[in-house]
Structure formats: C-alpha cells, structure tokens
Amino acid sequence: YLKLDESDMVTFSAPVNIAIIKYWGKSCQKLNLPMNSSLSLNLNQDHLQAKTTIATSSTFIKDRIWLNGKEQDVEGNTRLQACLKEIRRLARLQAVKRNEDVHRVTRCSQKVHISSRNNFPTAAGLASSAAGYAALVAALGQLYRVDGDLSGVARCGSGSACRSMLGGFVEWVKGGKSDGTDSIAQQFVGEEHWPELRVLIVVTSAQTKAVGSTEGMQRSVETSALLQHRVDNVVPDRMKALTDAILNKDFSAFAEICMKESNQLHAVCQDTFPPLRYLNNVSEQIIRFVHAYNEHCSDTRVAYTFDAGPNAFLFVLERHLSEVASLIYKIFGPATDNATDFFRGERFKAY
C-alpha cells in the first residue's frame, strides 16, 4: 500500500455548534451569505465532534470522500467542490506570494482522499454537516499550508459550518460585501468564559427531516413575511442583548433570548408556505416542561432551543444539571408514563 509522508496526511476535528441567534435565510444562495448575523455556542469536542483525515498523493487519480466509512459521490457534490476549489485557489495564491518552490505550488493540484467521522451516532439526527465541513476545511488548510481565516471557505460548504471553526461563543457576522469576503466567523468569548453553562441534548426522533434546512430556508425567503421583519427589526437588538447577557453570565437574560429565538425560527417556519414543521409532539411537551419548571422554581433554570429538527438542546447551569437531567429522564425517558401528570403539577411533588 501507499506510504505517505507525515506532511501528506493531516487530521483535524471540529465541534458541533448550537445556534442561539439563528441563521435562517440567505441573501446569496451560491455563496451561502446569510440575511442576518447569528451566534452559536460550540460544544465540547469530547462529546460531539467531527474528525476528518485527509491524505494527498501524486498517485491519487481523483478526489474521494468517505463519511463514517461509506464512500460518497464527490463530482455531484457542489458544496464539497466549492470548498476544494477555493482552498486550492488560496493555497496557490499564497504559495506564489511566498515564493515557494514549484513542488508546493503543484501539490495543490494533487488529489485528496478524505475520511470524516462523527463521534456521535448520525442516526441521532443531530446536525453534523457544520462540524464536518469545519473539520474538512481546517484539515485542507493545514495540508496546503493556507494561512489566515478559513471560516469563509467553510461557509461555502455549509453556512453554519463557519461557526464551527472556532471554540466558545462564535458570531457569524453577515458582512456587507457581495463577494462574501466579510461574511466570516469571529469568536465572541472562549469556552473558558462561562464553564458552568451546560447543554443537555434530548433526542426525540432519529428520523431524517422531510425538508432539509437549505431548501426550507429558501422557501421561507420566498414566502414568509415574518422573516424579513425578523431580520430588520428583531435580530439586531437580540444580538446586542444576548452578547451582554453572555458577558455578564446572566443566565435568565440568556435563557429568555435563547427561547424566543427558537420560537421565532419555528414561527417563521409556520409562516412559510407551504408551512415547515420541524418540531414534534415531544418537542412541544419539552417546551411546556421548561416553562412549567421555571415557573415552579420561580427562577429561570432551563432554556430550550431547537434547530431545523425535533431534538431539544437544553441549557442549564451546572448546579441544576443533575436535577433537570433526572426530571427529563423520568418524564420523557424510555420507560415512563406519558407526561400528562407532570403538566397538571403533581409530578413536581414526587421529586
């Protein structure tokens, strides 16, 4: 088999990110430019990450990719092609600028073999393309020795992938240039800023969604009146309030914005024609649980957010984690009665 030089093979991992201020709607489909800026929390990679290994060799005859061990089509994958093309363009440009030898310049024309894996089950229905494209672009950047910000390249793969290029709280600034060069990710604060903040992921369905995000958000752009209102009148103030809440580690302010953002995303989906429905009945019950629980505690202890799927992301401070996790498990876990009693209030007495 092929013997590769160390410099011919690189491995990179990237985290899954969860949007608090949501990206939904593009101003340019080709470049994945968003209608509004968004902000996410990137998860600890020990739990959820995509890991990508890329090898290059002059003997490879075409670019190939395997996702979780299964080979995928490369030719028909326009997003992957866009990332490969852009990173090779940057690599050549930088190599020439640095007066590097021909070998390094021509190396950018060599084909790559890519293997990407998630450390969580794909069947869990959790978005993995963001982490996947981020790991891919970071690895390609390293392989081709491309300096500078690569979040714009990851954005070409999948919009939200640009936010997985960094850790902690990350803002994807929408930018204003038509070529997208200023539509990039910026770290707002690192993960060390708010270590008490935890995320519980409640998988309510492992089924793949009927309408993917790309298609769904395009339908919203074309038909939802609420979307433009949100972009113009809601998101800018919310972004400011959210960043203040994060800086002050004000959980209750953070939680309110987080839940309102999730609700507005799904309101836009409902306002889309034909409507998009990503939440299921269990998601709706979880929303009711969170509000009932916070009211019961006379304190905001849990916040939910849902992306384009029915699985819940619950934010909670570490000191309340075990109580919330055990409640969730008892109410929504596999071997419990349905949640009806809980919503009448009796369940609270039992714990």
307 binds ligand 2P0 (CB under 6 A): yes
CB closer to ligand 2P0 out of 29 and 336: 29
Distance (Å, rounded) from C-alpha 345 to C-alpha 228?
Answer: 39
310 binds ligand 2P0 (CB under 6 A): no
Contact window for ligand 2P0 (CB under 6 A) among 5-13, 21-29, 60-68, 225-233: 21-29
213 binds ligand 2P0 (CB under 6 A): yes
Question: Shortest distance, CB of residue 341 to ligand 2P0, whole angstroms?
Answer: 32
| β-sheet with 49-57: strand ranges across | 9-15, 49-57, 111-118, 64-67, 70-72
Distance (Å, rounded) from C-alpha 154 to C-alpha 135?
Answer: 9
Burial of 318 (0-12, 13-18, 19+ CB in 10 A): exposed
Pick the binder of ligand 2P0 from 16, 41, 87, 308 (CB under 6 A): 308
Contact window for ligand 2P0 (CB under 6 A) among 16-24, 46-54, 108-116, 320-328: 16-24
Amino acid at 71: E
Place of tokens 């935890």: 198
128 binds ligand 2P0 (CB under 6 A): no
CB closer to ligand 2P0 out of 80 and 282: 80
120 binds ligand 2P0 (CB under 6 A): no
- What letter would DSSP give residue 303? E
Question: Shortest distance, CB of residue 299 to ligand 2P0, whole angstroms?
Answer: 27
Distance (Å, rounded) from C-alpha 97 to C-alpha 84?
Answer: 20
Distance (Å, rounded) from C-alpha 133 to C-alpha 152?
Answer: 11
Pick the binder of ligand 2P0 from 49, 118, 129, 164 (CB under 6 A): 129
- What letter would DSSP give residue 231? I
Contact positions vs ligand 2P0 (CB under 6 A):
19, 22-24, 32, 38, 129, 158-160, 213-214, 265, 307-308
